[in-house]
Structure 1
Amino acid sequence: MTASRQTAPHPKPPRLVAFDLDDTLAASKSAIDPRIAAQLRALLRVVDVAIISGGNEAQFRSQVIAQLGDADAAQLSRLHLLPTCGTRYLRHDGDDFAPVYAHDLSDEEKSAALRALREEAERLGLWEPNPWGEILEDRGSQITFSALGQQAPGDAKHAWDPSGEKRLRLRDAVAPRVPGLEVRAGGSTSIDITRAGIDKAHGMTSLAEHTGIPLADMLFYGDRLDEGGNDYPVLALGVPSIAVTDWQNTADELDVLLPTLQPTLEDRQV
């Protein structure tokens, strides 16, 4: 088992368990493993579950929802999807996942963000001439730059900027060109641009408001809880959090968590 680090104490079983997606529940852009799928179904029988990540809605549906198999409507009603870093929020309405809110960017904001990302990446020598798929993506509520392309293999992505220095240089170059928007280093090769203040902390706060579950009663798993990482806003908000290194590490941690949730199930049945 890969060592992990609980970054905030959590003395009682959580009422909601939240996760980052890529490199936490699944390898980047890949479907969740059957082991994770089974654990998510087990969680959904006893607690609410949330997934909050920079990926778009289509990725959530293919990577997670399509893999949950026989999860029923009651289980799916406990699943909260917050794609594009929580700038969108979807809940199951009995038939499908429907939007609760979406903080979409205006056409002018999108154009400015796309232009700034391309021009600054070219100026810094970070524009890949032969990418795996599109480098720039309009996700409605988020503009995403993927240095090697959206379909780049995981080994290439992890080798591109292991120190994070390239992403930070690009972020610092783009941010002054899009005042009113927030520019963040995302995954291993990505830069995400959203409305200012609309990040994972905003998503988790909105989740607490919509569910009535306090942040202190949640537990979050993420692979980028380090300061400057895209999961750090959740930790800074005060949500009890556990740092993981990959989906296998998360699965090992869930093997430890799941038995502790049985009292929660018994309490609900009383």
Structure 2
Amino acid sequence: MACKSLIIFDLDGTLTLSKSNLSSKMSNLLANLLLIKKVAIVSGGSYKQFQNQFLNHFHCPKQYLKNLFLFPTCSTSFYRYKKGWQKVYEQTLSAMEKDKIFKAFKKMFQELNYKQPEKTYGKIIEDRKSQITFSALGQQAPLELKKTFDSSRKKRLKMKKVLEKYIPEFEIRIGGTTSIDVTRKGIDKAYAIEQIGKYLQVSKKEMLFIGDALFEGGNDWPVKKTGVECVQVSGPERCMEVINRLIKE
């Protein structure tokens, strides 16, 4: 791994627990990693989620931030640090596309006779500009509750199948523990790798991807198609072990 110049991380379940804040221990390790490597973070989450979950809890000297690159919503937007975090680009769904997706969710709920939980935490369906995300318990649901909702993914697979009938022209992916993401076709972590390579001018041989969902069907799985070397982790603790190895090499 010593030959890798760019380390790419997933966010949820990798650098942090699902929808949880970055720990001080992880913050310190990443700061040390930025001294010797470029670091990109790619996630289905919005830039606002990156701010709340990551940036507000990441502490390092400002000069290190030139080596940190953020790719929210599966790289349909890109932010880099130049006297503050600057947006390089952002792709967005049109009003017509969003309307079609929202209507498809409504039809799917009716067809499956789906009843929302009595108590929810934040928005159930969130407009992330380039992506529409359904979170069964709400965006801010406690992790312990989320873990028990659909651990087998059977509920969401059934929802996905119905959605595909109504909006076949869109990409529909199961993400996290309770969510379904809808984007334009071809927007996945493989697309993210292409965008990262293009904008950072780094070859795939120089990249290392670290994520928690590299299994078939997981939202990190498409990275494997690109030929980029990957490391599967089971959460932040295992991720910190990998970062320590990278720093010591």
TM-score (norm 1): 0.87
**Pairwise mapping of residues 208-247 of structure 1 onto structure 2 (< 5 A)?**
208-247=197-236
Unaligned stretches of 5+ residues in structure 2: none
Runs of 4+ in 1 over 3 A off after TM superposition: none
Distance 2:115 2:227 in 1: 37
**Pairwise mapping of residues 12-27 of structure 1 onto structure 2 (< 5 A)?**
12-27=2-17
What is the match of residue 4 of structure 1? Answer: none
Which letter maps to 1:112? K
Deviations along 1:16-52, one digit per CA (max 9) or x if unpaired, are 0111111111111111111110111111111110111
| Distance of aligned partners of 1:126 and 1:189 in 2 relative to their CA distance in 1, 3 Å threshold | farther
SS of structure 1 residue aligned to 2:70: strand
- When the two structures are aligned, how many residues end up with a matched partner? 248
Distance 1:218 1:158 in 2: 31
SS of structure 1 residue aligned to 2:173: strand
**Pairwise mapping of residues 79-94 of structure 1 onto structure 2 (< 5 A)?**
79-92=68-81, 94=82
Tell whether the 8 Å contact from 1:127 to 1:147 is kept in structure 2 after alignment.
no
1:126 shift after superposition:
4.1
> Which of 3, 15, 18 is the equivalent residue of 1:28?
18
1:179 shift after superposition:
3.4
Q: How much is the aligned-residue C-alpha RMSD, in angstroms?
A: 1.4
What is the match of residue 197 of structure 1? Answer: 186
What is the match of residue 124 of structure 1? Answer: 112
What is the match of residue 164 of structure 2? Answer: 175
1:95 shift after superposition:
1.8
| Distance of aligned partners of 1:248 and 1:121 in 2 relative to their CA distance in 1, 3 Å threshold | farther
Distance 1:138 1:218 in 2: 31
Distance 1:99 1:175 in 2: 32
Unaligned stretches of 5+ residues in structure 1: 1-9, 261-270
Distance 1:253 1:146 in 2: 30
What is the match of residue 114 of structure 1? Answer: 102
Give % identity.
Answer: 39
Which letter maps to 2:201? G
Deviations along 1:94-120, one digit per CA (max 9) or x if unpaired, are 222222222210001111111212331
Tell whether the 8 Å contact from 2:210 to 2:230 is kept in structure 1 after alignment.
yes
Tell whether the 8 Å contact from 2:33 to 2:243 is kept in structure 1 after alignment.
no
What is the match of residue 140 of structure 1? Answer: 129
TM-score (norm 2): 0.94
Tell whether the 8 Å contact from 1:87 to 1:194 is kept in structure 2 after alignment.
no
